Amino acid sequence: MTELNVAIIGHQFMGKAHSNAWRQAQTFFDLPAKPVLKVACGRREEPLKAFAENWGWEETETDWRKVVERDDVDIVDVAVPQNLHHDVAVAAAKAGKHVFLEKPMSLSLAEAEEMLSVAEAAGVVHYLNHNYRRTPAVRLARQLIDEGEIGRIFHWRGAYLQDWISDPSFPLTWHLQADKAGSGPHGDLNSHSIDLARYLVGEIDSVCAMTRTFIEERPLPSEGAATFKGGTSGTETGKVTVEDAAFMLASFANGALGSFEASRFATGRKNYNTFEIYGSNGALLFNLERMNELEFLSKKDGDGRQGFRTILATEASHDYIANWWPPGHIIGYEHEFVHAVVDFVDAVANKTAIAPNFADGVAEMRIIAAGLESAATGQRVTV
């Protein structure tokens, strides 16, 4: 069987999620090629070596430029903060490597546009990891919409709410610095909701947004502290340069009206990634924290008999499920990443495209940029 050598850049949160996916995809699915965990890259040798040993990466390297230039690397998996996405993805594509990139795509729309044109010119497979598209319950939502079960869509209501930085003593990690993250929850969380809205409802043509930063100054993080554990270095502080919450209204080209809420200050909410879709024939509700379920109301049920039914999307007929467990034996967060790897390897082996890709990323960055512009100017902005 053909082998595909993978290099991963970044070895913390997404580094783990992706490593698990590269391994599990080949054990649970029949892949057309075998991913080989060739080389892992990070800045600090010690934790990198421990990571590589734990997850089965053959080699380590601390300079990402050396990694993307290696002749024996076929795929570059970009699992680092946004300030590196452009440089790594462009260098990798120019070197002829297929690129598996974390979201949000880049720091700016201009960077995203360049990444797309380089990847297209190089003829490599490019993928932007909005893993939630590959949740079986979300795929079922798309199927019901395609079959007309919801009818004409009137409303998208997306909310992606977390609370992990609501404590003012939480340190100034890269997520809170505009030069490393681009933006706050608007880019981080709304990007996922925007991707789902584009996948399920359609293109957005104008937006109107408000953002707010509640805590302006935070302690500096200690060197090497794990992102979500929040170790601090002492008494030194630094300025928060991104928003803490971003709320956006959106008009869709097909006439639907939508709302997007993204916050890291929604006390009690952990990874509350939800959407509601209301149409002329029915409605759909999804909540990631109950990710095996899709709620569906159908007007076909007739007067006086309608109500939301909960579909457990764990039948073999639901996308990806036949390769996992029998019905009712639920799947979790990490499975979405496995599904992404399965489809990515298929695209590489069969020389086809995968979605979402860098073109979707550019469309999404346009919406993100329009939202930030609207928040800054107080005006509605055409996308």
Ligand X SMILES: NC(=O)c1ccc[n+]([C@@H]2O[C@H](COP(=O)([O-])OP(=O)(O)OC[C@H]3O[C@@H](n4cnc5c(N)ncnc54)[C@H](O)[C@@H]3O)[C@@H](O)[C@H]2O)c1
Judged by DSSP in three states, 251 sits in strand
The reply on whether position 131 binds ligand X by CB under 6 A is: yes
Residue 13 touching ligand X (CB under 6 A)? yes
> Which residue in the set 5, 24, 60, 82 belongs to the binding site for ligand X (CB under 6 A)?
82
Q: How far is the CB of 310 from ligand X (least distance, A)?
A: 24
Of 12 and 306, CB closest to ligand X: 12
Candidate ranges 40-48, 236-244, 257-265, 292-300; the one touching ligand X (CB under 6 A): 40-48
10 binds ligand X (CB under 6 A): yes
How many residues bind ligand X, per CB under 6 A?
Answer: 22
Q: Does the footprint of ligand X cover residue 259 (CB under 6 A)? A: no
Indicate whether 295 belongs to the interface with ligand X (CB under 6 A).
Answer: no
Q: Which residues contact 347 (CB under 8 A, 6 or more apart)?
A: 125, 127, 353, 354
Q: Is residue 158 part of the contact set for ligand X (CB under 6 A)? A: no
3-class DSSP state of 263: strand
By beta-carbon distance, which residue lies closest to ligand X? Answer: 12
Q: Does 15 help bind ligand X (rule: CB under 6 A)?
A: yes
If one asks whether residue 14 binds ligand X (CB under 6 A), the answer comes out as: yes
Nearest Cα neighbor of 176 from 114, 109, 225, 221 is: 221
For 181-198, the DSSP string reads HSSSHIIIIIHHHHHHHH
- Among residues 10, 16, 121, 20, which one has the least CA distance to residue 76? 10
Q: Which stretch binds ligand X (CB under 6 A): 3-11, 22-30, 207-215, 234-242?
A: 3-11
User: In the chain, what is the straight-line distance between the N-terminal and C-terminal CA atoms, in Å?
Assistant: 45
User: By CB under 6 A, which span of 10-18, 30-38, 286-294, 350-358 interacts with ligand X?
Assistant: 10-18
Binding window for ligand X (CB under 6 A); candidates: 81-89, 120-128, 198-206, 363-371: 81-89
Residue 302: C-alpha distances to residues 148, 247, 284, 323 (Å): 17, 36, 17, 36
Regarding 11 and contact with ligand X (CB under 6 A), the answer is: yes
Does position 12 interact with ligand X (CB under 6 A)? The reply is yes
- CB atoms near residue 56 (< 10 Å): 12
Q: In terms of CB distance, is 62 or 169 closer to ligand X?
A: 62
Residue 122: closest CA among 91, 146, 144, 164: 91
Neighbouring C-alpha atoms within 13 Å toward the C-beta of 314: 16
**For ligand X, which residue of 8, 68, 80, 266 counts as binding (CB under 6 A)?**
80
Q: Which of 86, 213, 201 is nearest to 153 (CA)?
A: 201
Pick the closer one to ligand X by CB: 144 or 200. 200
| 188 contributes a contact to ligand X by CB under 6 A | yes
Complex with ligand X: residue 14 or 207, whichever CB lies closer: 14
Number of residues written out for the chain: 383
Q: Say if CB 118 and CB 95 are below 8 A apart.
A: no
Q: 45 has which bridge partners?
A: none
- Looking at 20, 227, 237, 241, which residue binds ligand X (CB under 6 A)? 227
Would you count residue 103 as binding ligand X (CB under 6 A)? yes
* Binding test (CB under 6 A) with ligand X, winner from 4, 68, 79, 347: 79
Whole-angstrom Cα Rg for the chain: 21
Pick from 330, 310, 308, 309: which is nearest to 320 by CA? 330
Judged by beta carbon, residue 39 or residue 79, the one nearer ligand X is 79
Residue 5 · residue 36 · CB < 8 Å: yes
Residue 136 sits in the site that holds ligand X (CB under 6 A):
no
Residue ranges binding ligand X (CB under 6 A): 9-15, 41-43, 64, 79-82, 84, 102-103, 129, 131, 188, 227
